[in-house]
Amino acid sequence: MKPLLVARNLRRADSAREIFSVDYFSLNQGETIALIGPNGAGKTTFLLTLALLHQPTSGSIEIDGVTAGPNNLLHLRRRMAVVFQESLLLDMSVLGNLTTALRIRQAPRKTALARAQKWLDIFGVGHISSQQARLLSGGEAQRTSLARAFALEPDLLFLDEPFGSLDYPTRNSLLNDLGKILKQLNMTTLFVTHDYTEIPFLAEKTAVMYEGRIKKCGSNQEIFGHDFFQRNLWSPWAD
Ligand SMILES: Nc1ncnc2c1ncn2[C@@H]1O[C@H](COP(=O)(O)OP(=O)(O)OP(=O)(O)O)[C@@H](O)[C@H]1O
Ligand SMILES: [Mg+2]
């Protein structure tokens, strides 16, 4: 399989200390990798660096064989979309949130409208497209922010605990929908979560980050063993 994203010797440090240091990490075309690890391990910082939103202190990131640098950063960023735990919607209508994101990326008005409506429908929020985003429930807001990410038709998707604030029924229905969509689109995704039960819905592989290092990366079975669902309380970053 061909890696769509490759990070080499990637490191970020501030004046006080190192936040992460990863010798090698890759995401193949069409694969979803879950990234887990305790609070403060460096997952979000690593994800934002791979999404080219944070600058690394050193190291390189290649997208489709092209090394990211000042000359192509904007272009490469436009191939990516990020969804966070908080939906970060603009104070405008649900539809407006999607069309604005698309217009910023230069989509013609008609295309933007059609694509926005299509993705709102797929994520089950098409019927509330004229509602103000600030009035949405948590689940609706998260569906809207996923629809916005997919409407951008990214090659790479980054999800940072996107279901963290949702109740279980809402989370499960969203996980089911998202799992199917990722497979249909053959999307390449990095997915950070603290809830291991979410992993098999979306990802085939899991990477474990601890104190800024990727300690393990392998199939879900290699990382969690056979009794995956029974091992929720187990700490995979412990030796
Ligand atoms: N902009 C920043 N400047 C300095 N330190 C930072 C910055 N962002 C994060 N950190 C520190 O880097 C470490 C890793 O933070 P990060 O948010 O990446 O962890 P995380 O694994 O995502 O944690 P969580 O599971 O709680 O979301 C933390 O100790 C945090 O305080
Ligand atoms: Mg985080």
Nearest residue (by CA) to ligand 1, atom 30, is 40
Q: What secondary structure does DSSP assign to 111-150, as a single string?
A: HHHHHHHHHHHHTT-GGGTTSBGGGS-HHHHHHHHHHHHH
Q: Indicate whether 130 pLDDT > 90.
A: yes
43 lines ligand 1 (CB under 6 A): yes
**Tens digit of each residue's pLDDT (9 = 90 or more) over 68-116:** 999 999 999 999 999 998 888 999 999 999 999 999 988 899 999 999 9
* Alpha carbon of 40 to ligand 1 centroid (Å): 5
Nearest ligand, measured from the Cα of 40: 1
Q: Which amino acid is located at 131 in the chain?
A: Q
* Alpha carbon of 20 to ligand 2 centroid (Å): 13
Nearest ligand, measured from the Cα of 46: 1
| pLDDT above 90: percentage of residues in the chain | 78
Q: Cα-Cα-Cα-Cα dihedral of 25, 28, 30, 34, to 10°?
A: -20
Q: Give the max Cα distance, the chain.
A: 55
pLDDT of residue 85: 85
Cβ atoms of residues 101 and 107 within 8 Å: no
Q: Indicate whether 165 pLDDT > 80.
A: no
Nearest residue (by CA) to ligand 1, atom 14, is 42
* Alpha carbon of 108 to ligand 2 centroid (Å): 35
3-state secondary structure of 93: strand
The region, left, alpha or beta by phi > 0 then psi within -120 to 50, assigned to residue 9 is left
Cβ atoms of residues 87 and 28 within 8 Å: no
Nearest residue (by CA) to ligand 1, atom 27, is 39
pLDDT of residue 168: 84
As given in the structure block, the two tokens for residue 163 are 């279901």
212 lines ligand 1 (CB under 6 A): no
**Tens digit of each residue's pLDDT (9 = 90 or more) over 21-49:** 999 999 999 999 999 999 999 999 999 99
For 182-212, give one letter per residue: b (16+ CB within 10 A) or e.
beeeebbbbbbbeebebbbbbbebbbbbbeb
Domains and their CATH numbers in the chain: 1-79+155-239 (3.40.50.300), 88-153 (no CATH)
pLDDT of residue 238: 53
Name residues whose C-beta falls within 8 Å of residue 195's C-beta, 6 or more positions apart in sequence: 163, 164
pTM: 0.92
Nearest ligand, measured from the Cα of 37: 1
Nearest-angstrom CA–CA distance, 106 and 75: 12
106 lines ligand 1 (CB under 6 A): no
